[in-house]
Amino acid sequence: MNADEARLKLRELLGQVNPSELPKLLDWMKNSEDLRARLPVDAMLPSETAAQHKMQQRQRPTVHVDSFLYSEDQVDALCEEGAMSRNYCLSCGSFRTAPLDFISHSFSMSELQFLFQNVLPDLSGRTVVDVGSRLGAVLYGGYVYSSASRLIGLELSEDFVRLQNDMLHKYGMSDRVQVRVSDRPSSLLSHRHSHTPLIKTTPPLTPPVPTQVLHANVCTQEVLLQGADVLVLNNVFEYFMEPTEQIGAWKFIMQAFRRRGALLVTVPSLQESLDALQVPLPPGWVEELPVDYNVYLGRDADPEELRQIHLYRVV
């Protein structure tokens, strides 16, 4: 797709948006562009050594491409510029190549639209908690695509918390969104936590909304989970915790997130995540709800990725 074609597609898209919602959509587009300018291409921090190590242990070479920041067209453009590659060399200096695996720790824009407009019900008056909020994609998506009254992000990395708060404040989303820093014991914190700024930030235009710091292990935040109407877990533990820590986190969630009727969103399915850790799913905790995956959200939407989104209700 060339620039003229892209502009035409964009005009078509904007023409379908409710005029009252257009400012929020345009701000969201600026938001992702702003984030791209502040992060390296792979959107990984030097402090994320555990996640990078696990990616290196995969059978095929794997690179992180943040789906919230880069669409397929943008990835193609980066490959054409030489800033990224879709392939790796099987034998140095030869023409034998194989495709790289791409993974993302964030929902794409299409996936966020699907989540809030097709998977979840009306969230008026509801509280959404995103565990491992990272760049804040779920918070931004919930702000644009839902009427949730509170959107709370939990994040270990001080750098990512700083970045999210900067974005929320700059684009006027702090009226409904909170980002909480979770202080954990060093064994849990060392994977993603950083004490020094690693991301380029700009001073907010107005005084920042105070960040609430919880001096406790995230796995003891019982009150927060008990009050959540929706809990989002987007592959949050696999790359950032050792198996024993993952097991502890899951067991805590299964004990604390118990309010009847509350909704749980997971990627991948609960069964897949727990089977990998050999942890049984407690009987009578949640029931899986049907999700209609047969929706068209544009050519950037990946049907296989949408099918990784699962919805459960606490019984």
Tell me the per-residue pLDDT of 140-193, one tens digit each, with 9 for 90 and over. Answer: 889 888 999 989 888 888 888 888 888 888 888 878 877 766 544 333 333 444
Whether the Cβ atoms of residue 265 and residue 309 lie closer than 8 Å to each other:
yes
Could you give the CA distance from residue 313 to residue 76 in angstroms, rounded to a whole number? 39
Q: Hey, which residues does 213 pair with through a beta bridge?
A: 181
Could you give the CA distance from residue 208 to residue 98 in angstroms, rounded to a whole number? 47
Could you give the CA distance from residue 86 to residue 61 in angstroms, rounded to a whole number? 10
For residue 195, the model assigns a pLDDT of: 40
Rg of the chain's alpha carbons, rounded to an integer? 20
DSSP state of 117: I
> Would you tell me how many other CB atoms lie within 10 Å of the CB of residue 33?
10
For residue 124, the model assigns a pLDDT of: 93
In 3D space, the residue among 158, 144, 177 whose CA is nearest the CA of residue 25 turns out to be: 144
Query: φ, ψ for residue 68 (rounded to 5)?
Result: -70, -30
Identity of the amino acid at 314: V
Q: How far is CA 219 from the centre of its chain?
A: 19
Query: φ, ψ for residue 203 (rounded to 5)?
Result: -60, 135
Whether the Cβ atoms of residue 58 and residue 101 lie closer than 8 Å to each other:
yes
For residue 98, the model assigns a pLDDT of: 63
Token couple for 106 = 């964030």
CA distance to 33, 35, 268, per residue, from 70 (Å): 9, 11, 21
CA distance to 3, 97, 158, per residue, from 133 (Å): 32, 35, 12
Q: What is the pTM of this model?
A: 0.75
Query: φ, ψ for residue 141 (rounded to 5)?
Result: -65, -40
**Mean pLDDT of each 10-residue bin along the chain, 315 residues long:** 61 63 62 88 80 71 81 80 73 59 82 95 93 89 89 86 85 78 44 42 34 45 92 88 92 95 98 96 97 86 93 99
CA distance to 48, 181, 281, 302, per residue, from 254 (Å): 27, 22, 9, 30
CATH 3.40.50.150 residue window(s) in the chain: 109-314
* Burial grade of 7 (CB within 10 A; 0-12, 13-18, 19 or more): exposed
CATH number assigned to the domain with residue range 109-314, chosen from the 4 options 3.40.50.300, 3.30.70.20, 3.40.50.1980, 3.40.50.150:
3.40.50.150
For residue 258, the model assigns a pLDDT of: 96
Sequence-distant (6+) residues with CB within 8 A of 115 are 107, 138, 141, 145, 265, 309
Could you give the CA distance from residue 178 to residue 161 in angstroms, rounded to a whole number? 10
Q: How far is CA 74 from the centre of its chain?
A: 19
For residue 276, the model assigns a pLDDT of: 95
Token couple for 302 = 């990946």
Say how many Å lie between the first and final Cα of the chain, rounded: 48
For residue 17, the model assigns a pLDDT of: 64
Whether the Cβ atoms of residue 213 and residue 181 lie closer than 8 Å to each other:
yes
> Would you tell me how many other CB atoms lie within 10 Å of the CB of residue 17?
13
Could you give the CA distance from residue 310 to residue 118 in angstroms, rounded to a whole number? 12
